[in-house]
Amino acid sequence: MKWVGYAISDGWEIKKIGDVLELAYGKSLPATKRKSGDIPVFGSGGISGFHDEKLVNGPGLIVGRKGTVGSLYWSEDDFFPIDTVFYVVKKVQLPLYWLYQSLQLIDIKSMGADSAVPGVNRNNIYARHILIPSDELLEKYLIHINSYNTRIKLIEQQNDVLTKTRDSLLPKLLSGEIQVPEAEAIIDQHLAEA
């Protein structure tokens, strides 16, 4: 089988994006209506704030629809996509992360209409094609990508702990309230608890 002039391996398929996923519309949530919480609010420029309730269960994939057309964001946790983005709803049993990586290969930005506020029609995205590997390859992919994503999450958690620890220790170090050996012990303790 051929795809854009390239031969593809047996067991792989070519499908239209619209056959494998839906690009659902986010919901309006002005900053003045947000309530304090830890749910990230995604706009086409990324996280634009936080709210106390989710719209979508994580993990999830967010696609910029207006403004920063074609931007792609992955959220490991629950999130609230606003009306400048789409969020992905799978139609078939494909790993969501596979779809995330596949959409990165498509130039969605070039599909944006030229206007004061650029935007993209989801039907233009639906008409594009992506490659779908065999079930056997997808299983191997999942083994590797899950391990990789677990490691990323652990590093992000450690980074968060280190950032908070730094922010609390730096003023104490500068004022002389604590000395470097005490700070090192606190850092070690926080990392062990992470």
| Structural domains for the chain | 2-133 (3.90.220.20), 140-193 (no CATH)
- Check if the beta carbon of residue 21 is closer than 8 Å to that of residue 90: yes
pLDDT at 157: 87
Per-residue pLDDT tens, the chain, 194 aa: give them: 555 556 677 778 899 999 999 999 999 999 999 999 999 999 999 999 999 999 999 999 999 999 899 999 999 999 999 999 999 999 998 999 999 999 999 988 888 765 666 789 999 999 999 989 888 888 888 888 888 888 888 898 889 888 988 898 889 888 989 888 888 888 888 778 76
Q: Write a three-state SS string for the chain.
A: CEECCEECCCCCEEEEHHHHEEEEECCCCCHHHCCCCCEEEEECCEEEEEECCCCECCCEEEEECECCCCCEEEECCCEEECCCEEEEEECCCCCHHHHHHHHHCCCHHHHCECCCCCECCHHHHHCCEEEECCHHHHHHHHHHHHHHHHHHHHHHHHHHHHHHHHHHHHHHHHHCCCCHHHHHHHHHHHHHHC
pLDDT at 113: 67
pLDDT at 7: 67
pLDDT at 21: 97
Please give the model's pTM, rounded to 2 decimal places. 0.76
